[in-house]
Amino acid sequence: LHGELRVDVLQAALDALAARHDAFRLVFSAGADGLRQQARPPAPVPLEVHDLRTRAPEARAEAVADRLERCAQAPFDLGAGALLRGVLLRTGGDEWILALATHHIVYDGWSREILLRELSVAYREGALPPSRPGAGAQFADVAAARRARLGPARLNVLSGYWHGVLAGAEPPALPVDRAPVAAPSFAGDRLTVHWPPALLERLRSVGRRHGATLHMVLVAAVQALLRRYTGQGDLVVGTAVADRDSLAVADTIGYLVNTLAIRADLSDDPSFAELLARVRSACLGAYAHADLPFDALAAELSAAGGDAPAVRAMVVLEGPGDGELELAGLRAEPLPLPGHSAKFELSVLA
């Protein structure tokens, strides 16, 4: 942030944001039927403020990295709440760095857009305007409504569909350079690749020619890639979707993402156009049956003796923008952090 920042106004804006969205004030406890959530009364958002202006440039850079790392890595106590916290670092006369951390259990990529937009408004106007009519449902309300919507009849339809999709599915048998361990740590590595705009436009063009979205093109490309490395003709790729199908949840901060399994038959070595048509059909079927939470499906498959981890490759395509923070009188620039610029993510568990 560049400019004259009013720390007290920023604190008030964060407090208003947390007061408006129960998600940041939830506490979780284990019950007989799973996790239970309860909203605590509004309270100030923890915001550490550090003035680093007197430090030498090298020491200041080290202090910035240390403070940001601690803000990001410090664990949250889900039983105590306060699921939004921040650190504000003053690095120059009119230069500041603001970092906010929250827990993924109450936050997703869509929520980030809401947070940045409403924080901008609250800082500028000193308060948040009322939600749009019919919008702004609280996270707990959405969870309760969806549980009520999944009655026995709907659950039977959804379960039947997904059991049919995943019947006999096997995870990708990727070649590995070491024997798998009995209890994997899930620790891995990240490789970031920046695609030129021309390549992205060519991918979109392929989709337009075949009536498919960019997301479908990328899923099909990953299926083809896995086919080359595994030799398997039957592949399942997971994908994450924002389960926000109405205006009622457009302004809701919360974790409303679900995992869908996209299965494709490549045993007859189809052309990419034919593979894309199959992936498109599979995606449309998955979207129409996206109500069943993936963890519930995985539990059903495990109970039935199936291989719940059949989805070991994930494709995630995020929106075109991460949102912008606009604080009155300040110029805001996203801090370039390693590994935070990718929009298309491919995750594979060998």
What local confidence, expressed as pLDDT, does residue 190 receive?
81
Which amino acid is it at 346?
L
Residue 26: per-residue pLDDT: 93
Judged against a pLDDT cut of 70, whether residue 133 lies above it is answered with: no
Strands 313-317 and 234-242: parallel
Q: Is the pLDDT of residue 52 over 70?
A: yes
Average pLDDT, stretch 292-297? Answer: 87
Q: Which residue has the tokens 């915001």?
A: 47
Q: pLDDT value at position 88?
A: 97
pTM of the predicted structure, to 2 decimals: 0.78
Q: Mean of the pLDDT values across residues 306-331? A: 71
CA-to-CA dists, residue 144 to 7, 38, 82, 150, angstroms: 37, 12, 22, 10
Of the candidates 128, 125, 129, which has an alpha carbon nearest to the alpha carbon of residue 9? 125
Which SS3 state, helix, strand or coil, does residue 191 take? coil
Contact 123, 13 (CB under 8 A): yes
CA distances (Å), 297 to each of 30, 105, 290, in order?
Answer: 20, 19, 11
**Cβ distance 260 to 285 under 8 Å?**
no
Mean pLDDT of 157-177: 89
Q: Please state, rounded to an integer, the average pLDDT across all residues of the chain.
A: 86
Is the pLDDT score of 103 beyond 70? yes
What is the per-residue pLDDT across 323-339, written as a single tens digit (0 to 9) for each?
A: 667 777 787 777 765 44
Confidence of residue 271 (pLDDT cuts 50, 70, 90): very high
What are the tens digits of pLDDT across the range 208-262? 999 999 999 999 999 999 999 999 999 999 998 887 777 678 788 999 889 999 9
**Cβ neighbours around 306 below 10 Å, total:** 17
Average pLDDT over residues 310-321: 76
Residue 204 has pLDDT above 90, yes or no: yes
- Please tell me the predicted confidence (pLDDT) of residue 297: 87
Q: How confident is the model at residue 306 (pLDDT cuts 50, 70, 90)?
A: low
Alpha helices in the chain (DSSP H): 7-20, 57-73, 109-125, 139-149, 152-166, 197-209, 214-230, 272-288, 294-303
Beta bridge partners of 31: 34
Say how far apart CA 174 and CA 171 lie, in whole Å.
Answer: 9
The mean pLDDT of 153-181, rounded to a whole number, is 87
- Lowest-confidence pick of 110-119, 241-250, 268-277: 241-250
Q: 253 in the Ramachandran plot: left (φ > 0), alpha (ψ -120 to 50) or beta?
A: beta
Could you tell me the pLDDT band of residue 344, with boundaries at 50, 70 and 90?
low
* 165 and 278 Cβ atoms separated by less than 8 Å: no
Q: How far is CA 313 from CA 91, 193, 260, 350, in A?
A: 41, 18, 11, 9
**What pLDDT shows up at residue 181?**
77
Q: What is the mean pLDDT of residues 270-296?
A: 93
Region 281-286: mean pLDDT is 95
Residue at token pair 């199936």: 306
What pLDDT is stored for residue 300 in this prediction?
82
pLDDT of the residue at 247: 66
Nearest-CA neighbor of 251 among 47, 113, 122? 113
Residue 187 CA from chain centroid, whole number: 19
Does residue 7 register a pLDDT over 60? Answer: yes
CA dihedral 85, 125, 19, 248 (to 10 degrees): -110
Higher pLDDT, 55 or 136: 55
Residue 134 has pLDDT above 60, yes or no: no
Residue 220, token pair as written in the block: 């099909």
